[in-house]
Structure 1
Amino acid sequence: MFRQSLPAGIGRMMASMLGDSPPSSRQGADAFPSSQSFHTTATLAAIPDPYKVLGVDRNASAGDIKKAYYGLAKKYHPDTNKDPNAKEKFAEAQSAYELLSDAKKRETYDRFGSAAFDQNGGFDPNAAAGGNPFAGAGGFHGFGGGFPGGFAADINFEDLFGAFTGGARRAGRGRRGPFQEVLVGEDIEVQTNISFMEAAKGTSKDVVITPLTECGTCKGDGLKAGAKRSQCRQCNGSGTRVHFMQGGFQVAATCDACGGAGMIVPRGSECGTCRGNGVVRDKKTITVDIPGGVEDGMRLRVAGEGDAPPTGTQAAPGTRTQRGDLYVSIRVAPDHRFSRSGSDILYTASIPLTTALLGGEVTIPTLDGEVKVKVATGTGTGDRITLSGMGMKKLGGRSRGYTPTGDLKVEFKVAMPKYLTANQRTILEVLADEMNDKTARRTMNIGKDSPPSEAGNAPTDSQKNEGFLKSAWHKLMNATKNGDGGNSASNPSKKESDDAKKSDKESK
């Protein structure tokens, strides 16, 4: 336990932050005793148990630890696992392996636990021996003058809130945690357009980007040849600056002059190419492989093709860096023939009225060429048939070389004629009579004899055709009534033979 005499006002504030509630019945300076106990909470001090992270026993051998780490790294690697939490789990496994693979760090952790590690990942004897209880928490840097009684609170709220939330994933600014942090560059987002067929089959597209890349002149350190970094004067190399609040309270924040690195590029020592940033813009062409089955609006991630971090201004020497990622937004152009619903595609086939009534066969376009499909008798508008396996590829469903696909759904639409010729109308009226349709309108008077035409008026082609159809219809109906099944009308050669025999008899 840590004991320190402190003023009543500050005592109430610190007690409220650390969970010690003051008595409510007393006011003023006597409301708190002159000696107050503080303790660090498990939330602030604890780091993830590396044994639990890797899923191994405390007596596990170095080989078992390595095997467990490789298994988790393969499972949660961000390039293969698209789970939003995979990157964080991968980082936890990597940090746990870094600790347990070091024999000295592992022995220290086994003896003292997470409290034995300070913010730089090393052993802190004060934390283990009951010294400053806030050293392992990452939020309190020490106590010194500033208040009567020799107490001053030096709190880094960035590290304090980072301890509650698990730490920043994109670290590299400010103080380091128990494991080495990585400075990550920004992501880049671009857009590319593809056709409907390219989305179905898959394609490759070249995208042009201008990412930040490491300066070739200074190799990323931001210095010209022969120059060296100097200690930041704003924070005296600590990476943090102390701000005095009202009432004498002090708050430590990341130094904005050096970005938390503690070192800066001196004026006049900057690299002439990158001006001290360590990175420059460079035009680059990236070939992006787009898999078949992508939908409009999807984003593809190309790992490590984003911006490089500005190491000249934001990184201390030896800081691990990582490029950002490239995200490609896919826009799929619509197709005039097909529409899409997930992995299924829909095609609307227009068929004639006679094909819909009588049935038949029509040609249908597909993603792989044309095919012929049968139309059932009596097909109506809206009727559908399904051609299995002729749709889009299903993303994420590949196994053993087989890629599942959706279906092609064909919807029929009966093309109704808007205008009819006399012949067409006559045939339809005949059909209406045959089907005993009493509601259809008749204009051709098929069942009635046409009045004789006036002298001198020759019949038109329409009237000739109409007369022929009527005559054929009446002959067909009369033959059916007489019981000969229409054989005389349908077999003119037989009728001519009978007429010839009759003529021979008369001549004899």
Structure 2
Amino acid sequence: MRDPYEVLGVSRHAGRDEIQRAYRRLARAYHPDVNKSPEAEETFKNVAEAYAILSDPERRRRYDAFSEPGDMWAHAGAGARTAGWTAGPWDGGPRAGFETRFRDDILDDLFGGFFGGRRAGWGPVPGADQEAELEVTVEEAYHGTRRTITFDGGPGIRITIPAGVTEGQRIRLAGQGGRGASGGRPGDLWLVVRIAPHPRYRVEGRDVHTELRLAPWEAALGTSVALGTPGGETRVRVPPGTSSGRRLRLRGRGLPDPHGVPGDVYAEVRIVVPRTLSKRERKLYEQLATASAYDPRSL
């Protein structure tokens, strides 16, 4: 058997995620259903065998202890001597037959039957977990929704997106990942939520930021105006003397949290001046300019 680290192309210090990514990449490239080259099936078996060893912490520990330092078969011979047997030359005689059986027993114990499995058929190899991005609108993130998704032309999968999902949240679909080999269980599919850009809302965690446009007199005198939020329209009270850039907080109107406190909506005020004025509006503005001593540049 080749070194499983060499088969997957990872170092001996590789973490679980790196090993799984390497397996997923190689399994996708050499799976017999995808790759019809003559050597693809054997390569896929080697990759699956290596993954089965390195993905199991106990098997990996035993492999590392057995294969370093020195040659694997030297360790097998040392084990035989420790047990009271003398490892001699492989001369094809009775001793060779015993030592061959001893070597196979050691390897079967270490690799969970893979070497024996090669003599009697493949053992089950679990499928790899897979990951895909799932884009939802701000409204879908707020209310939740149901969606049918398909991968690689396969049958549609009906999924439920719960209310209150956030950017980067992972949704697990058990058994919908990579196929196992030789009866191994399939992996899981993890959907990573991405919230699509919105013309009115900007989402940070569970908080929603939006813009509140006001006329100059509304900002100066104060008012109560309608404001759209992902959960529907609500009214917001504008205090007198509100300036552009002020943020008005609507507590609990952001994305819901099924297990805690919902987010907030922050409405940032923007004062908008009419592009054109009627004669009466111009006259009133001129009267205001004459009557007011307010100088915003003196602040």
| Aligned-residue offset at 1:383 | 0.9
The 1:439/1:198 distance shift into structure 2, 3 A limit, reads: closer
| 1:136-147 equivalences in 2 (<5 Å) | 143-145=87-89
| Aligned-residue offset at 1:405 | 0.8
| Aligned-residue offset at 1:437 | 5.7
| 1:195 equivalent in structure 2 | 137
* Secondary structure in structure 2 of the residue aligned to 1:348: strand
Distance in structure 1 (CA, Å) of the matches to 2:247 and 2:222: 14
| 1:435 equivalent in structure 2 | 292
For the aligned residues, what is the CA RMSD? 4.4
| 2:231 equivalent in structure 1 | 368
2:157 to 286, 294, 318: 286
| 1:110 equivalent in structure 2 | none
The 1:302/1:413 distance shift into structure 2, 3 A limit, reads: same
Q: Does 1:300 align with 2:171?
A: yes
One-letter identity of the residue aligned with 2:202: S
* Secondary structure in structure 2 of the residue aligned to 1:423: helix
Report if the CA contact (8 A) 2:208-2:264 is conserved. Answer: yes
| 1:380 equivalent in structure 2 | 243
Query: Whose radius of gyration is greater, 1 or 2?
Result: 1
Distance in structure 1 (CA, Å) of the matches to 2:148 and 2:253: 28
| 2:12 equivalent in structure 1 | none
| 1:25-44 equivalences in 2 (<5 Å) | none
Report if the CA contact (8 A) 1:306-1:323 is conserved. Answer: yes
| TM-score of the pair, normalised by structure 2 | 0.56
| Aligned-residue offset at 1:369 | 1.9
* Secondary structure in structure 2 of the residue aligned to 1:411: strand
Q: Deviations over 1:472-499 (max 9, x none)?
A: xxxxxxxxxxxxxxxxxxxxxxxxxxxx
Distance in structure 2 (CA, Å) of the matches to 1:376 and 1:424: 24
| TM-score of the pair, normalised by structure 1 | 0.35
| 1:467-506 equivalences in 2 (<5 Å) | none
Q: Deviations over 1:238-276 (max 9, x none)?
A: xxxxxxxxxxxxxxxxxxxxxxxxxxxxxxxxxxxxxxx
The 1:431/1:283 distance shift into structure 2, 3 A limit, reads: closer
| Aligned-residue offset at 1:381 | 0.5
Distance in structure 2 (CA, Å) of the matches to 1:175 and 1:416: 82
* Secondary structure in structure 1 of the residue aligned to 2:287: helix
| 1:263-278 equivalences in 2 (<5 Å) | none
Distance in structure 1 (CA, Å) of the matches to 2:279 and 2:141: 49
Distance in structure 2 (CA, Å) of the matches to 1:328 and 1:438: 55
One-letter identity of the residue aligned with 1:339: R
| 1:237 equivalent in structure 2 | none
Report if the CA contact (8 A) 1:362-1:372 is conserved. Answer: yes
| Aligned-residue offset at 1:203 | 1.7
| Aligned-residue offset at 1:323 | 1.5
Q: Percent identity?
A: 28
1:321 to 181, 184, 191: 184
The answer to which structure, 1 or 2, has the higher relative contact order (CA under 8 A, 6+ apart) is 2
Q: Does 1:404 align with 2:261?
A: yes
Distance in structure 1 (CA, Å) of the matches to 2:195 and 2:218: 35
One-letter identity of the residue aligned with 1:300: I
Report if the CA contact (8 A) 2:126-2:181 is conserved. Answer: no
The 1:172/1:372 distance shift into structure 2, 3 A limit, reads: farther
| 1:116 equivalent in structure 2 | none
Q: For this pair of structures, how many residues does the alignment match? A: 211
The 1:405/1:173 distance shift into structure 2, 3 A limit, reads: farther
1:358 to 211, 221, 240: 221
Distance in structure 2 (CA, Å) of the matches to 1:422 and 1:352: 18
Report if the CA contact (8 A) 2:138-2:230 is conserved. Answer: no
The 1:174/1:349 distance shift into structure 2, 3 A limit, reads: farther
One-letter identity of the residue aligned with 1:323: P
Higher helix proportion:
2
Q: Does 1:134 align with 2:79?
A: yes
Q: Does 1:204 align with 2:146?
A: yes
Distance in structure 2 (CA, Å) of the matches to 1:351 and 1:379: 9
The 1:174/1:291 distance shift into structure 2, 3 A limit, reads: farther
Distance in structure 1 (CA, Å) of the matches to 2:237 and 2:158: 43
* Secondary structure in structure 1 of the residue aligned to 2:237: strand
Report if the CA contact (8 A) 1:300-1:327 is conserved. Answer: yes
Distance in structure 2 (CA, Å) of the matches to 1:191 and 1:376: 42
Q: Deviations over 1:329-383 (max 9, x none)?
A: 4333222221111110012110111111111111011233212222111111011
* Secondary structure in structure 1 of the residue aligned to 2:156: strand
* Secondary structure in structure 2 of the residue aligned to 1:198: helix
Report if the CA contact (8 A) 1:192-1:207 is conserved. Answer: no
Structure 1's consecutive aligned runs of 4 or more residues displaced over 6 angstroms after TM superposition are none
Distance in structure 1 (CA, Å) of the matches to 2:165 and 2:87: 58
| Aligned-residue offset at 1:174 | 4.5
The 1:308/1:353 distance shift into structure 2, 3 A limit, reads: same
* Secondary structure in structure 2 of the residue aligned to 1:183: coil
The 1:375/1:283 distance shift into structure 2, 3 A limit, reads: closer
Distance in structure 2 (CA, Å) of the matches to 1:364 and 1:202: 21
Q: Deviations over 1:91-146 (max 9, x none)?
A: 88xx9xxxxxxxxxxxxxxxxxxxxxxx9xxxxxxxxxxx96536x9xxxx94316
